[in-house]
Each structure stands twice: as C-alpha cells, then as structure tokens.
Structure 1
Amino acid sequence: MQAKASKLWASALSEAAPTPYWTDRPDRPAPTEPLTTATDADLAVIGGGYSGLWTALIAKERNPGTDVVLVESAMCGHAASGRNGGFCAASLTHGLANGMDRFPDEIDDLERMGRENLDAIAAAIRRYGIDCDFERTGELEVATEPHQLEWLQESHDAAVALGYRSELLTAAEVQNLVHSPTYLGGWWDRDGVAMLDPARLAWGLRRACLESGVRIYEGTPVQRISKSNGKLTMHTPHGEVRAPRVALCTSAFQGPLAKVSRHVVPVYDYALMTEPLTEEQLESIGWGRHRMGLGDASYQFHYYRLTSDNRILFGGYDAIYHFGGKIAPDLEYNEETFERLSEHFFQTFPQLDGLRFTHRWGGIIDTCGRFCAFFGSAYKGRLVYAAGYTGLGVGATRFGAEVMLDKLYGLDTERTRLRMVRSRPLPMPPEPFRSVGINLTRWSLARADAHQGRRNLWLKAMDATGLGFDS
C-alpha cells in the first residue's frame, strides 16, 4: 500500500516544469543593457533583488536629485526575490520568539518598526501601482503534533501582550478554516503577514526605480572593488562605476567583499506549485474563505499558500547546505526533495488526490547564526551591506534598505541605534567544521521533531553559544 502511494505522489510531479512558477510567465520584463563604459554616480547599488531595489528606490524618494546606478549580475529579481513563497512578514527578527530571545530589551521597538515597515510596503505598492496580488491576510501556524500546542500558546500570549490581533484556535476551529486531518490546533497572527506575488513585486520595484531615474544595468557582475580619490570603483567585465557611496546587496551570493561570506550560509530551499484547484477542490479544503498563509510548527516546517488563481504553493522542510557553500544551477533541482514534498502535500490534503504539480524549483536562502539580518561596513564607511535575512527578506529588506542609507549618509536614527543593527552574529566556522555542524544540526532537528520537540545536547550547546535554531 505504501509503495503504491509513493508512486502516486511521484506521478503527481511527472509533468512539473523544473523552473520557478512566478517567473515562468509572459509578463516577465525584458532585461536592460549591460554596462559597457565607465560612469559616475552619487550612489552605486550592487544587486537587483529586493534589498538593492528598495535601496535604490528609497534613495530617490529621499532625494530625487541623487544619481543612482544599480548593477545586477543577471536580471533583477531572478534569484530569491523572484522565487520565494510570497510571505511578506512584519517581523524583522525571523519571528517574535527569535527576536525575544536575541533582543529582549528592544523587542517592542523592533516589532513596532516591523509593523510600520509592512505598512510602508503596502503604501509603496499602492503609490507605484505595483500589481502583485498584495493581500494582508495574516498567517496561520498549525500544530501537527501535541507538543506543538504549547508553543502556539506561547506565541499567542506574546502577540497579545504586544497588542496584536491574535487568535488561538482549537482543532475544531482550525478545521473550520482549513480542512486537514493533520491539524490539532492553530495560532492565527491576523495582521503580521501579507501574501503577494514575489516576482511581480520585484518587477514592479524595478519599474518604479527606472521611472524614478535609477540607471539599471543587468547582466553586469561586479568582479572587484578598488578605491581612489575618495570614491570606490566597481569593476565589471566591460565597464566600471565610480561612486562615493556603495550599498552591497548580494544576499547569499559571494560578492566582491569576502568578509560578508564569513557570516552567511547559503541554504537551498525547495517548493512545488499545483495546477489551479477547481471550485469543488477548493471547497474540499475550505481554505478559500480567508486565504491566509499557512505553516506548521515543526522545526523542519512546511509553508504553503494560495495564489490568485487558486494554485497551492507548498515548500520548505528540507534546508540543504552543500560543502563549501557551493551555489550552482543544478542544485536548484532535487528530485528526492520534490518527491518528499509531494508526499507531505497529499498527507496534508488527502482529499486533493489526483491534483498535479505544474512547477518544481529550488533556490538559496541567506541564513546566518542569529537568523535575521545583520549590517556592516567597509572602506571607512563608504560601503555598507545587509545580509542574513533567512527567508524573511520579502518584508525585512525594505527596513534593511533604510538602515543602509542611514549608515551611508551618516545619519543617527532610531534604526541605527538598535543593538540589532549595531551587532553582528558570530562568524561561521571554516570547512569542514561548517558542514559537519550544519548537517549535525539538521539531523538533531529531525530527531527533535520525532521526539516531542526535545532538543538534544548538540542543540542545547548551539543555544548556549547563540547559534540556537528554533524555526
């Protein structure tokens, strides 16, 4: 019986295109021309994901006369920004629990700034007419094991203490929202998460940048940086950009500043997208009434959501690190993980038996030892960077852009005074210790999920050194 079921789960993937669903559409914009000459600018931005796009756009909002040049090695939004799950969270700290553990003295301010940041994202989407299916639905975290109910209670209590609209739900109440035999209870953060189309957000920000006068050169990797006469020069294959200020926004990719990679771990995450559900199929799971994002409370968790045309994106669980932080196109496709996700999908929604997947893909997340963004500078403050968003960059990158611009222009702000902004996570150890530690942590998390959430000695040691992993 199990073998037959496994074949059915695998067969649902047989026609799934090995490409991100979000970018596999005809409205994808044409790339700009690469840089082929030398040019000067007031501000140079390296990287065309959310981080770089928000930095360029906000720089123009602050001072429309600022000459901004953005260079991107491929095309804006091609990596994590265009292929993620589309969960735009208010949290700046990878969740309230992680923020309370790491920054207890300023968690109230961090949460307030995060909610203000999400409001500002919504306002920018309206102001620039970005059609990205933005829906502030909140997120429902579900318990699939009895021990997780206590965790949901703790999350709910913390949210209520901060004045948030939060609901703790019984098994029956959760089933009334979304029908799955695996759900034992839930916690619904009503306001802290919005759902959106990630690629169209990136493309919309790109368009807004261009219309604001930002010069964007795609297909233009920065190979090295040099300094002279109070400016930094970004050297590219066929040109160069000279600027007194530089924002480095390369996420998990190795950029021209090696010291950033000491703190960043590129981890591969994978997702599936179904064909559109029929009205009957949507009714069978009951989800269409509220359309909130969903995630389970396991350490190795799944995240899933509905699209505007009622497909289901289903991702997460596996988080795979390759020796030496290897990043390569072939690592975006992992058939074993895709089959595991398919199996978990139909265990979650057995009533959708027969539904097929149209797309399967993977990509890298830039995680770090504290699981939320960190900031730094180089070249005596002429260059600043932000990295380590750990999957919550859809929302938090806008806040990070504000921080980088504050630092570049020497502004003393509420943001720059935060300990979160002034401190950095511990650097990751070199290989082979890095791989051993990461894989031992993954194994330990799987063990904890199988043993009522009990953390073994390795995880407790990571907690004690500030490298604990809770999500």
Structure 2
Amino acid sequence: MDVTAALADASTVPFWLDSDQRPEPLPPLTRDLEADLVIVGGGFTGLWTALQAKERDPGRHVVLVEANSIGWAASGRNGGFCAASLTHGYENGESHLPAENERLAQLGLDNLNEIEAAVTRYGMDVEFERTGELDVATEDYQVPELREAHDPEAGFIFYDQQELAQIVKSPTYKGALWDSREVAMVNPAKLCWELLRVIRELGVEVFEGTKVTDVSDRKTNVQITTLVTSQALEDCASAPCSIITAKRVALATNVFPSLLKRVSLHTVPVYDYALMTEPLSDEQLTSIGWDGRQGIGDCASRFHYYRLSADNRILFGGWDAVYHYGRQVSWKYDQRAETFETLAAHFYETFPQLQGVKFTHKWGGPIDTCSRFFSFFTTAYGKKVAMAAGFTGLGVGASRFAGTVMLDLLSGQDTELTQLEMVRKLPLPFPPEPVAWLGIQMTTNALIKADGNEGRRGPLLKALDAVGMGFDS
C-alpha cells in the first residue's frame, strides 16, 4: 500500500492520549502552601513517588505539581513496554555496573512484580498484560546470540525460524528469544490516569498547569517558586505565582531542563516516533498469528518496537532517534513526516499480509537519554531534594523504582538502595554544544554502519565502550 495514502488521515495526537477517558484538567496552584513532600512532575516517576510516599506514611502531606497535564509527555506517548530491567538490558548493566548487575536484575524483577501487585491492589484499569517480549532477529548474524541466551528455567526461550513462524508470521524473521517473565504490556496513559486517581484518593494534592521555576534552600526547608502556565491563565490571571514551602522535594522532570544546574549536561533529549494502525479484523489477526500478544523488538541498533493494543491495533515505533541542536525540546518536533513514511514502509515489509491496513495516529516525543542509558540519581541541599532522570526509553517500569530510591534518599537513612553504585555514581555528562551535536551525529552514523556490517562495531563505538558511553541495543 502507498505509505502516503496509509498515513493521510492519521491524527497527530498520541493514540493513548486520544481518549474520552482522559481526566478533566485539574486547577493550577494559585496560593502559597506548605507541604511535607513536594513532587515536581506528573509523569510515571512523579506519580509512583507520590503513591509510595503515601503508602509509607499515610499522614504525610504530599503535593504534586505538573506544568502541563498528567501524563502528557513521555509517560503518555511511549509504547507501553513495562520492563523489569533497570539497566536497559543485562549486557548494558554488566558493562556499566558489573559488581551489582545481578542484584539490580533481581531488584528490577521485584519492581515489576510490585507494579503488577499495585495494579491489582488498587483495581487499576490499565490493560496490564504480562506477555513478555520477543527479541527477533531479522538478519542471520543476529541468530547465534539469541540461541546462546536460551535458558527456559530463567524464562528465556529461543525459537528458530520455523518455530517462530508458528507464533508470529513475518517473512523478515530469522529467529527470536522470548523473554517470558520480565516484560508486561500496559496502556501508558491509562496507567498515568489511574495512578492519578489512586494518589488523589489517598490524599495527595495535585495541581496541573503549574510550572516550577526555582527550587532553593531555606535552612530547614526548601522554597519552591511556581508559575501558572499559559494554558491555565484564563482561570487565574489574578494570581499566577505561588510559593511552596516543603520539607522534602522530589524532582521528576526527566527530559526537561533540570532544576539542578550541576546535572544539566547529564541528559540530552532524543526524539522517538510511533504509528498506530486501525483495529485489525479477525482475518487480519489470523494472517499474522501473534496469539501470545507479546511485545516485539528487533535486534538492530536502529530497532523497531511493536505491540498489540487492547482493541487489536498495532503500535509500530522506533528506528529514528533524532537529536536537535542545543538540547531543544519543542512541540514542533513531535511530527516528522520522513520518519512516519519510513516506519510505514517498514511495517508493510514486516507484515506484507496487512497491506490494506491504514494508520490512525502518528506522533513523537522526546526521551531523556543519559550516557549510560539508564536512570541516575542525585541529591541537593543537604538531601532535602532528590532527583531522578536519564531513563533512555525504559522508564515505564524503572520509574517506580526511581520513586523508591528518591524516597529512600530523602529519608536521610542509609538503605540498600541508597548504597547502590547505580545510585551513588553519576554517568558521564554529555559535552556542551557544538561538540554534543557533532558527537551524537557521528555516533548515529557509526551505529548505522555497524548494522550494515553484521553488528561489528567500528573505532568510534569501541572508543565509547572503553570510556563507559557505549550502548548496544
């Protein structure tokens, strides 16, 4: 099918957010107040932090402020792959934190189990499906590594080309490894909205349209300056600014500029894109199989990820990861026609039996990327402020763990988590411009070249590996 025609009527609103279940906007903060804990950011990290804070101490006065609306940024735009891994894959963890990688793997699995338990405990309607993920080889050279990882007792099951054809039918597949236990599928926007419902029921005060402009130390507490954003000014033009006095603050702003300047170079925003098809008919579903409804990702450095929605659409994303000079984050980058056309063409190559299927949604958004490709943590003002960022696209699950870590850090107590090297050690910062832009472009080109050379990494990628900034998806 012609990709232009297939994309012609696609909405530019992210599919998950294009729902009549989206909550009505909450009012902004228009008064000064005091709180035990203030959480800045209404995505997964902030929401999970708020929930756990109230579970630990139901009497704690917790306030969450969000500059836009709950879940509108990366948390409501992603593919909904809720993975156990805290380190963007075991191999990446082994490269960066070999001494504690095994423990981090177990902590990640425990964290995923806790997410599932919370979904059940609070009756959250988030389309949670613990189906696992298929890592598929689309080139012959990728097959041996997947075969070597076969370990049924640990939940990793290898399928050769013939076996895989009985599970998901694509002429591009050479084999796959099914990670059967460590990935669940969720509707990410519903997860945000259900977490919002639960924390409000537990007594958390939530303010949307409220941007934090400054966080400063005031000896025994922290002063937070907020500004009502333009979207909400119609209702509160008489009082657009407020001061919050807080005993503790958790910063969960992720891809957006850090309120702690000393880590402002530790993340860069990289834009990712996705398409969503119209719902598949029974005949179309039969033509591809996929009865197990696993998430799927291929093994290339420039990879695709895709999954089925609850109403049997296919989300198909990935491939391009676009960095804009100067660490720019802007709504104007959420749409990229050339990437959508590429993704659509790749979709039909993957599933030629779905040639007649059209796309109903096309969208993008920024990912907070750090040089080790998984989250980092820091504190400020005598540990009255904690921050987490750098999830690099794996935050759906790891964000809850980040909330756990931040609460431990803010408690002032030494815990197993606060003593982890992962928590104590910052990744290397990215250089300032123009070196950052040049380096990212060179690295992207090197990854493309490696994909075309059977995965063999050239001098630049080997050098990045040596200094702790390498990554192999």
TM-score by length of 2: 0.96
| Pairwise CA distance, 1:129 | 1.2
* 1:166 aligns with one of 151, 156, 160: 156
| Pairwise CA distance, 1:257 | 1.9
Partner amino acid, structure 2, of 1:283: T
* 1:219 aligns with one of 206, 209, 213: 209
Write the deviation string for residues 88-147 of structure 1: whole angstroms up to 9, x where unpaired.
000000011111222222122111111110000001111111101100000000000111
Partner amino acid, structure 2, of 1:115: L
* 1:321 aligns with one of 320, 323, 343: 323
* 1:245 aligns with one of 223, 243, 248: 248
* 2:143 aligns with one of 129, 149, 163: 149
Partner amino acid, structure 2, of 1:394: V
Query: Which residue does 2:401 correspond to in 1?
Result: 399
Name the SS for the 1:22 alignment partner. helix
Q: Is 1:299 paired with 2:293?
A: no
Is the contact made by 1:35 and 1:240 (CA closer than 8 Å) also made in structure 2?
no
Aligned residue runs from structure 1 range 280-295, under 5 A = 280-287=283-290, 289-295=291-297
Alpha-carbon distance in structure 1 between the residues aligned to 2:299 and 2:218: 51
Alpha-carbon distance in structure 1 between the residues aligned to 2:78 and 2:271: 11
| Pairwise CA distance, 1:380 | 1.8
Query: Which residue does 2:111 correspond to in 1?
Result: 117
Query: Which residue does 2:218 correspond to in 1?
Result: 228
| Pairwise CA distance, 1:256 | 2.2
Query: Which residue does 1:273 correspond to in 2?
Result: 276
Alpha-carbon distance in structure 1 between the residues aligned to 2:376 and 2:147: 29
| Pairwise CA distance, 1:255 | 3.5
Root-mean-square deviation (CA, aligned residues, Å) is: 1.0
Query: Which residue does 1:139 correspond to in 2?
Result: 133
* 1:202 aligns with one of 181, 184, 192: 192
Is the contact made by 1:323 and 1:435 (CA closer than 8 Å) also made in structure 2?
yes
Query: Which residue does 2:83 correspond to in 1?
Result: 89
| Pairwise CA distance, 1:24 | 0.4
Partner amino acid, structure 2, of 1:33: P
Name the SS for the 1:222 alignment partner. strand
Query: Which residue does 2:346 correspond to in 1?
Result: 344
Partner amino acid, structure 1, of 2:91: A
Query: Which residue does 2:234 correspond to in 1?
Result: none
Partner amino acid, structure 2, of 1:214: V
Q: Is 1:452 paired with 2:446?
A: no
Partner amino acid, structure 1, of 2:299: A
| Pairwise CA distance, 1:411 | 2.2
| Pairwise CA distance, 1:258 | 2.1
| Pairwise CA distance, 1:227 | 2.3
| Pairwise CA distance, 1:392 | 0.8
* 2:4 aligns with one of 1, 5, 10: 10
Alpha-carbon distance in structure 2 between the residues aligned to 1:153 and 1:228: 57
Name the SS for the 1:412 alignment partner. coil
| Pairwise CA distance, 1:469 | 1.8
Name the SS for the 2:88 alignment partner. coil
Aligned residue runs from structure 1 range 59-70, under 5 A = 59-70=53-64
Write the deviation string for residues 261-301 of structure 1: whole angstroms up to 9, x where unpaired.
210111000000000000000000011x1000000000000
Is the contact made by 1:51 and 1:400 (CA closer than 8 Å) also made in structure 2?
yes
Query: Which residue does 2:237 correspond to in 1?
Result: none
Alpha-carbon distance in structure 2 between the residues aligned to 1:364 and 1:74: 15
| Pairwise CA distance, 1:419 | 1.1
Is the contact made by 1:267 and 1:319 (CA closer than 8 Å) also made in structure 2?
yes
| Pairwise CA distance, 1:9 | 1.8
Query: Which residue does 1:127 correspond to in 2?
Result: 121
| Pairwise CA distance, 1:151 | 2.7
Name the SS for the 2:408 alignment partner. helix
Is the contact made by 1:222 and 1:255 (CA closer than 8 Å) also made in structure 2?
no
Q: Is 1:366 paired with 2:379?
A: no
Partner amino acid, structure 2, of 1:43: L
Is the contact made by 1:333 and 1:361 (CA closer than 8 Å) also made in structure 2?
yes
* 2:181 aligns with one of 191, 195, 200: 191
Is the contact made by 1:71 and 1:217 (CA closer than 8 Å) also made in structure 2?
yes
Query: Which residue does 1:415 correspond to in 2?
Result: 417
Partner amino acid, structure 2, of 1:415: L
Alpha-carbon distance in structure 2 between the residues aligned to 1:265 and 1:33: 31
Q: Is 1:357 paired with 2:359?
A: yes
Identity %: 53
Aligned residues: 460
| Pairwise CA distance, 1:259 | 2.4
Partner amino acid, structure 2, of 1:213: G
Is the contact made by 1:367 and 1:388 (CA closer than 8 Å) also made in structure 2?
yes
* 2:26 aligns with one of 15, 29, 32: 32
TM-score by length of 1: 0.96
Alpha-carbon distance in structure 2 between the residues aligned to 1:393 and 1:282: 30
Partner amino acid, structure 1, of 2:14: P
Query: Which residue does 1:424 correspond to in 2?
Result: 426
Moved over 4 A (4+): none
Partner amino acid, structure 1, of 2:296: L
Write the deviation string for residues 237-267 of structure 1: whole angstroms up to 9, x where unpaired.
2212110210000011013222232101110
